[in-house]
Structure 1
Amino acid sequence: MAEETDQESRTEAPTDRRIREAIEKGDVPFSREAPTFAAILGLLVSLSLVVRGQAAQIARDLSALFDHPGGFRLEASGDVQVLLQAVGLSAGRFLLPILLILAGFGLAASLIQNVPRAVGERIRPKWRNVSPAAGWSRIFGRSGQVEFLKAVLKVLAVSLVVLLILRSERQKAVNAMYVDPSQLPELILTLSIRLVSAVSIATIVIVAGDLVWARLRWQRSLRMSRQEIKDEMKQVEGDPGVKARLRSLAQDRSRNRMLASVDRATVVIANPTHFAVALRYEPSENPAPLVLAKGKDLIALRIREIAESHGIAVIEDKPLARSLYDAVQVDQTIPAEFYRAVAQILFFLFARPR
């Protein structure tokens, strides 16, 4: 019950990090029906290409044994070994291509679904794999119900297809009792190919549905709660409180450095209490006045205090102070549109007697 409640609370789509971690642990969507379907296709290819071409050859190889059993000496153990080697070699040449085709189709079914990767987590012993309670939940849970439904559908589909094929071939089966026995292998092979072809067609819908279900079930298992998303964001981006504290410390250090440079200013242009901008003009350093510091409210008052304590002129010009504060950043020269207004102030300062 607790597990179901926890699953219901996971209503959010998984993040890219959650998906990436699941794939790295080997938790990937996988359809169990795809390998089965691949095996059926492999069997169909084997019957159509290998068995039809190799059946006559193996029949010729074994005909000597069945037609003339007395032609083989069985007087010593070595004779038996030779006989078994001959039979095994002939059977191996017949079965090996079939096994390779089946293995190739099964491997392709796995590779198409997911890129292979070595994951030790998948083979590590886990208690839930042998736990009776976990096994009970797997059998009677939603996944177990879906697997049971798929099994029932497969049995019904295969049974219906086989029944229809056998009914359509009933007359040929009856007539086979009166034909040459040498034609029976070809008749059985043709019937087998038809059966396997029909079964593969009948299971395509089940396989397609299982592929979709496997991916939906995988995505559902990776769903996250809102709290899990918040925790992940904290891990990836850092705790918001810590980030705010670091940002505040950085702003304090920057403000202190700015205030420390006010004593080098040429003039401070200020609104009486709200804004203050400290400018430095040295033609040998910069072609235009440079903003050393700026601030409003308490910072503006602090800039004025420092300027006055160092004998730096404070000129009150409300529109100019506000415009400079909004338009220019610290350690930047003033834009050209402020040249005339600032030049008038500097001319006044340089022209007055000292």
Structure 2
Amino acid sequence: MAEDTDQESKTEEPTGRRISEAIDKGNIPFSREAPVFASFLALLVVLSYFVREHGATLARDLAPLFDHPRGFTLADGHDAMTLMLAVAAICARFLLPVLVVLCAFGLASTLLQNLPTVSSERIRPQWSRISPATGWGRLFGLSGAVEFLKSLFKFSTITVVSLMLLRSEQHKVVNAMYVDPSQLPELILSMAIRLVSAVSVATIVLVAGDLIWARLRWQRSLRMTRQEVKDEHKQTEGDPTVKSRIKSMILDRGRQRMFAAVPRATVVIANPTHYAIALRYERDENPAPMVLAKGKDLIALRIREIAEQHGIPVIEDKPLARSLHDSAEVDKMIPAEFYRAVAQILFFLFARSR
């Protein structure tokens, strides 16, 4: 009950990080019906392309053992072992292609659903896997009900298909008692191929539905609460409060550095109360005036105050001050379009100082 309540509180879709962590831990969507369907297809391939040809070869190789049993010497254990190895080699030649096809189809059904991942989390011992309470919940929960319905569907499908096939082949089954026994394997093989084909076609709907259900159930299990989304965002992007404090500290340090550079300025261009730009120009240092500090409102007033304390001239030019504040950057030379206007101010100051 508590688990259902907790699941109901998870209303947010999983984030990319949540999905990546789940995949890294081996928690991936997987349909159990896909390997079963692949087994039916592999069996159909084996019956259609291997059993008829290789079955005849197997019968031919084993015929001497049944037709002339006295031709084999069984004097001691060595003879018995030799005979067993020979029979095993004959059976292996028949079974090896079958095993290869079954393994190939089984691997394909898994790899086509998800790329292979290596995770120790899936093999780590967990109490929930052997807990009776957890197992009881899985058995009688939604997953258990879905698995029961799938099993019922498969049983019903196989039963109905088998009955329909036997009904359609009833006359052949009855006439088989009067035909040559050598024709029975071919009859049984053809009926088996038809049966497996019919079951494979009937289970396609089940496999498609189970693939969709497995992915929906996986996404539902990864849903998050709003608090989990917020916590993950804080871990990924950082706590907004901490980021704000860091940004404030950086700005404070930048302002202190600007204020410390104002005493080296050549001139401060200001809008009386809103903007202030501190410039330094020394012909031997830079080809154009350098911006040491800039600011508006309280910062502008502080720049003017420091300039006045150190006897640095403050020139009021409203359009130039605002344009420089918007275009120029601290610790860089002023843009070229301001050379003429600033040069006139500097020429005026140098002429006055003489």
Q: Tell me which interval the TM-score lies in, with the shorter structure as reference length.
A: over 0.9
- Aligned partner of 1:224 in structure 2 is 224
Q: Secondary structure at the match of 1:334?
A: coil
- Aligned partner of 1:255 in structure 2 is 255
Measure, in 1, the Cα distance between the counterparts of 2:47 and 2:281.
94
- Aligned partner of 2:341 in structure 1 is 341
- Aligned partner of 1:115 in structure 2 is 115
- Aligned partner of 1:56 in structure 2 is 56
- Aligned partner of 1:300 in structure 2 is 300
Q: Superposition pairs for residues 77-156 of structure 1, below 5 Å?
A: 77-156=77-156
- Aligned partner of 1:198 in structure 2 is 198
Deviates more, 1:121-130 or 1:162-171: 162-171
Return closer, same or farther for 1:324/1:174 CA change in 2, 3 Å cut-off: same
Return closer, same or farther for 1:70/1:337 CA change in 2, 3 Å cut-off: closer
- Aligned partner of 2:315 in structure 1 is 315
Structure 1 residue 93: Cα displacement? 2.4
Structure 1 residue 297: Cα displacement? 2.1
Structure 2 counterpart of 1:28, one-letter code: I
Could you report, residue by residue, the CA deviation over 1:303-334 in whole angstroms, capped at 9, with x for unpaired residues? 11211121111122233222222222212333
**Is 1:234 the equivalent of 2:250?**
no
Deviates more, 1:209-218 or 1:57-66: 57-66
Structure 1 residue 76: Cα displacement? 4.0
Structure 1 residue 278: Cα displacement? 0.9
Structure 2 counterpart of 1:257, one-letter code: R
Structure 2 counterpart of 1:268, one-letter code: V
- Aligned partner of 2:31 in structure 1 is 31
- Aligned partner of 2:281 in structure 1 is 281
Measure, in 2, the Cα distance between the counterparts of 1:4 and 1:334.
65
Measure, in 2, the Cα distance between the counterparts of 1:309 and 1:15.
56
Return closer, same or farther for 1:85/1:319 CA change in 2, 3 Å cut-off: closer
**Is 1:41 the equivalent of 2:21?**
no
TM-score by length of 2: 0.94
Structure 1 counterpart of 2:113, one-letter code: Q
Measure, in 2, the Cα distance between the counterparts of 1:142 and 1:331.
66
Q: Secondary structure at the match of 2:279?
A: strand
Measure, in 2, the Cα distance between the counterparts of 1:82 and 1:351.
119
Structure 1 counterpart of 2:264, one-letter code: R
Measure, in 1, the Cα distance between the counterparts of 2:182 and 2:212.
47
Measure, in 2, the Cα distance between the counterparts of 1:319 and 1:81.
107
Structure 1 residue 353: Cα displacement? 4.6
Structure 1 residue 122: Cα displacement? 0.6
Return closer, same or farther for 1:77/1:290 CA change in 2, 3 Å cut-off: closer
Measure, in 2, the Cα distance between the counterparts of 1:249 and 1:284.
35
Could you report, residue by residue, the CA deviation over 1:14-55 in whole angstroms, capped at 9, with x for unpaired residues? 122111111111111111011111111111111112211122
Could you report, residue by residue, the CA deviation over 1:123-149 in whole angstroms, capped at 9, with x for unpaired residues? 111100111110011111111111111
Measure, in 1, the Cα distance between the counterparts of 2:12 and 2:19.
13
Q: Secondary structure at the match of 1:285?
A: coil
TM-score by length of 1: 0.94
Structure 1 residue 79: Cα displacement? 4.2
Q: Superposition pairs for residues 152-231 of structure 1, below 5 Å?
A: 152-231=152-231
Structure 1 residue 73: Cα displacement? 4.3
Aligned residues: percent identity? 69
Structure 1 residue 13: Cα displacement? 1.9
Return closer, same or farther for 1:286/1:51 CA change in 2, 3 Å cut-off: same
Measure, in 2, the Cα distance between the counterparts of 1:312 and 1:200.
92
Measure, in 2, the Cα distance between the counterparts of 1:278 and 1:92.
92
Structure 2 counterpart of 1:115, one-letter code: L
Structure 2 counterpart of 1:154, one-letter code: K
Measure, in 2, the Cα distance between the counterparts of 1:3 and 1:36.
31
Could you report, residue by residue, the CA deviation over 1:89-109 in whole angstroms, capped at 9, with x for unpaired residues? 333322232222212211221
Measure, in 1, the Cα distance between the counterparts of 2:82 and 2:330.
98
Q: Which runs of 5+ in 1 are unaligned?
A: none
Which 4+ runs in 1 deviate beyond 6 A?
A: none
Q: Secondary structure at the match of 2:121?
A: helix
Could you report, residue by residue, the CA deviation over 1:230-267 in whole angstroms, capped at 9, with x for unpaired residues? 11121122221111111111111111111111111111
- Aligned partner of 2:330 in structure 1 is 330
Measure, in 2, the Cα distance between the counterparts of 1:256 and 1:78.
97
